Amino acid sequence: MSAPRIVRVGEVMNPRFHTIDGMAMVSEALALMCQHEAECLIVDKRHADDEYGLLLASDIARQVLGKDRAPERVNVYEISAKPVLAVPPQMDIRYCARLFTRFDLSRAPVIETGKVMGIVSLANLVFGGLCQF
């Protein structure tokens, strides 16, 4: 009996992602999300010693829509998560799923040598990892 094949995050991640500046307004983020049919955006680093952030549609729902705030009056940095937990592309998807469970995450940027390579979600892990078998 052979050992099961290890599926890596880099094999199942979505390499298409979009970025936004933290100083942008949520209305700009919404327009970008709608244009690209994206559920999240990577919040860019402001400088080399900064960290990446993540803006989810659920953040907008909870922090803007749910609180009846005007999207054109709220900056992305006010409602996004920063810093975020990131995963390397060589991580085993089983460990990634455990990490997501432990920290109650639905998605994370995939970062290698300080650069974002893509986004991985729970759905990517399940469908990209388990449906291959």
Q: Round to whole Å and give the CA distance between 60 and 58.
A: 5
- Nearest Cα neighbor of 107 from 99, 115, 129, 21 is 99
pTM above 0.85, yes or no: yes
Q: Round to whole Å and give the CA distance between 69 and 125.
A: 34
DSSP 1-30: -PPPPPPBHHHHSB----EE-TTSBHHHHH
- Residue 107 has a pLDDT of 96
Q: What is the pLDDT along the chain (133 residues), one digit of tens a residue?
A: 567 789 999 999 999 999 999 999 999 999 999 999 999 999 999 998 999 999 999 999 999 999 999 999 999 999 999 999 999 999 999 999 999 999 999 999 999 999 999 999 999 999 988 775 5
- Residue 129 has a pLDDT of 82
Give the phi and the psi of residue 89 in degrees, each rounded to 5.
Answer: -65, -20
Its CATH class, for the domain covering 9-130, is alpha beta
